[in-house]
Amino acid sequence: MSIVLAAVGAFPPVPSLAQAAPRTGDWPAYGHDAGGTRYSPLAEITPGNVARLRVAWVYRTGDYLRDRSRFEAAPLVVDGTLYVSTPLGHVIALDPERGIERWRYDARVSLEGDYGDFANRGVATWLDQTRGTALPCRRRIFLATVDARLIALDARTGRPCGDFGAGGEVDLAGGLRHAPAYHWEYGVTSPPAVASGLVIVGAAVSDNQRVDAPEGVVRAFDARSGRLRWSWDPVPPALSAGAANAWSVLSTDPERDLVFVPTGSASPDFFGGERPGANAHANSVVALRASTGRLVWAFQVVHHDLWDYDVPAQPVLFTLRRGGSALPAVAVGTKMGHLFILDRRTGAPLFPVEERAVPGSDVPGEAAWPTQPFPAPALRLAPESLAAADAFGTTPDARRQCRDRIAALRYDGVFTPPSLRGTIIFPGDIGGMNWSGVAVDEGRGVLIAPTNRLAMVVTLIPRDSVMAARHAHPNSEISTQRGTPYGMMRDMLLDSAGMPCNPPPWGTLAAVDLAAARAKWEVPLGAYPGGMAGSINLGGAMITAAGLVFIAGTFDRHLRAFDETTGRELWSAGLPAGAQALPVTYLAGGRQYVVVAAGGHDRLHTTMGDYVVAFTLPGAGAPVPDTTDAPVEGAYTGQIRVGGAAIGLDLTIGTMADSLTGLVGRIDSIRVTGPVTVRRTGRSVTIRAPFDYPAKRCAGTITATGEQWNGARLLEGDVEVSGSCGGGPPEHGTFALWRR
């Protein structure tokens, strides 16, 4: 059955609002504008001069973790200030010209627990037009935390807005039908949306733990008071399942009073026997009336999801110009690599969508949906087939391993259901497209899409065999899926050396001609370890009016610029850590800047960090990164972070004769038992302190080695804890100390 829009003429064309912004030089929302186009009208940096871009400034947040943080924030720039947020709950205001800190706020997010997705993708902002310009909280910064709080801050000072919720925050974990079983089961990883005087949030819910997971309710709170105004639940209360949560970025259409919600799978992901039917409104893009929460329309991209094929990407609003008409459209990127272009007034497809038969399930108790929606071939941006003959390997033995493994698993094309023998999911749950989403230049009629091509393997495990599987596969992801007959095991389809078994490229950047629904170009994006072209990527692309596409996101830690017309790479720069984040651009002091957060990704195993890196063109008045040595003596306060522990520390560094000394004024939980030594070489500083831990009756030595950052206002680096407390090899962590 084909679904084709036939009567678009019933609606008059409207001018585009998606790419309008309050100030052309600002970046006021996650995707630049309310519709998430990721398009900036700035054009000082051009294809002709982009090769001259250089680092303007580097700022470190102090929230560096070695193993599990995902600093994925897209900074906002509005009213002459840059705002950036971290997974640990810090919001920081910076001078956008120099990267100098103006204020910072600490939401004190706990490090304890396995959050699953310990991420933050940014903040939102709202200007209260009814409040006097001199009054606090006229402009508010909204932070939604990974531990399920919504916080309103005064944009000028960083202080909580006391009239919002309870002392500036709202508890998002309260009032759910299915209460979180532990504090990290339910939280928020993406910025809220703001519309109609409301701040609107979805949630991230831990995958595959239980049928009755917390529900994926979307809620709207009054932007002034924090009072709940409406809520919408994608899962009917009569169904025992939960989730179907909107963990990614929402979009709004203020003119039509609409908010666009991308939803995920109902719980759990890989067995749907306890949630029969299509699971309508899960795996969908849903249009709600922004002022009331009333459902306007929904378009489901996967029926009865069994593959973790959430709608991961922000729905992008734009005007489609085709055949003399201007149509209000929404682009929906999916993990399958399917791109759906819909009329944003009705949800009707603007290009043909066909319901096609797909493979059935062979698992007792499962009833896979018999058909799935497929867009036109040019809008399917990832491979949908993988045979043993396609197996990749860097050596003959590796190729044989992959060929044998593919042959032993079930795979009958995209939408092959999970099985007891093991099923290849290709594209895997990382995409196709993921939260990186797509960018749209509606003036040129071009959509830019980064994609991934990495196969996964999902195996269903009978309930009585889950513990045995955990012992047999200690390095695999295994979840219980409580309430169903089966647990699940998920792995990447790799050879014994860790290389993907499906052929490269494993990541691409593509351009689509929107009017004609055809591919313009596609190129491998970055490099995979070992030098193979085309890297798995997360972060997304940004387009400028000059015809440049900026994107990071790859394993090889580079920010790149491509020619929007041809796909040719014009410039790249190495970064100090993985940049799994969306680059942004803005105007400050008459100069165009490009900024990206480089924090690394624990599961992609890119280099970890906490950097905000800004680039601009050289010339008179261009800032230069501050890398000069400065005196280290002074009073500091901060934390040592090891595992889930955050140990508060006050330290004064002084001079005695020709040596540096350290005096600890406070250190939480443990006790310093001897002299604290301090040594420095250039910007590098090493601090060593013996300690005992009365609660555990053990002792050891803390060695902290780091560097001066942020104009010598921050000491930050790595920590090694040796001694009897860990019961084994030295433990490793990080530290951050700020000058008082």
Active site residues: 308
Contact at 8 Å (CB) between 213 and 242? Answer: yes
Q: What are the two backbone dihedrals, phi and then psi, of residue 646, each rounded to the nearest 5 degrees?
A: -120, 110
Q: What is the DSSP letter of 410?
A: B
SS3 180: coil
User: Are the beta carbons of 185 and 178 closer than 8 angstroms?
Assistant: no
Strand-strand pairing, 659-667 and 325-333: unpaired
| Nearest CA among 159, 158, 194 for reference residue 83 | 158
**Greatest distance between any 2 Cα atoms in the chain:** 85
**In the beta sheet, which residues pair with residue 113?**
none
What letter would DSSP give residue 213? P
> What's phi and psi for 406, nearest 5 deg?
-60, -45
Q: How far apart are CA 375 and CA 353, in angstroms?
A: 4
Give the Å distances, CA to CA, from 156 to 78, 104, 159, 467, 587. 11, 11, 8, 53, 19
Q: Listing from the earlier edge strand, what are the strands of the sheet with 541-544?
A: 39-40, 541-544, 548-551, 558-563, 569-574
Closest CA to 85 of 102, 73, 100: 73
Q: Identify the three-state secondary structure at position 451.
A: strand
Query: At 509, phi and psi to the nearest 5?
Result: -125, 130
> How far, CA to CA in Å, does 271 sit from each of 85, 114, 217, 234, 581?
36, 23, 21, 18, 31
Residues 6+ apart with CB under 8 A from 22: 28, 78
- One DSSP character per residue, 220-262 reads EEETTT--EEEEE-SS-TTSS--B----S--EEEGGGTEEEEE
Q: Cβ–Cβ contacts within 10 Å for residue 129, how many?
A: 7
In whole angstroms, what is the distance from residue 265 CA to residue 305 CA? 6
Q: Could you write out the DSSP letters of every residue in 86-133? A: -TTSEEEEE-TTT--EEEEEE------S--SS-EE---EEEE-TTS-T
Helices (H), 295-419: 396-408
Residue 536 in contact with residue 555, Cβ under 8 Å?
A: yes
> Residue 319: which H helix or E strand, with range?
strand 316-322
CB atoms within 10 A of CB 712: 17
Burial (CB < 10 A; 0-12, 13-18, 19+), residue 292, is middle
Q: What share of the chain is helix, strand, coil (3-state, %, to 5)?
A: 5, 40, 55
Strands 169-171 and 569-574, by their bridges, are: unpaired
**What φ, ψ does residue 416 adopt, rounded to 5°?**
-75, 120
539-555 burial, b at 16+ Cβ within 10 Å, e below that, comes to: bbbbbbbbbbbbbbbbb
Is residue 259 within 8 Å of residue 251, measured between CB atoms?
yes
Secondary structure (3-state) at 427: coil
Dihedral, CA atoms, 244, 248, 249, 254, nearest 10 degrees? -10
CA distance 391 to 407: 10
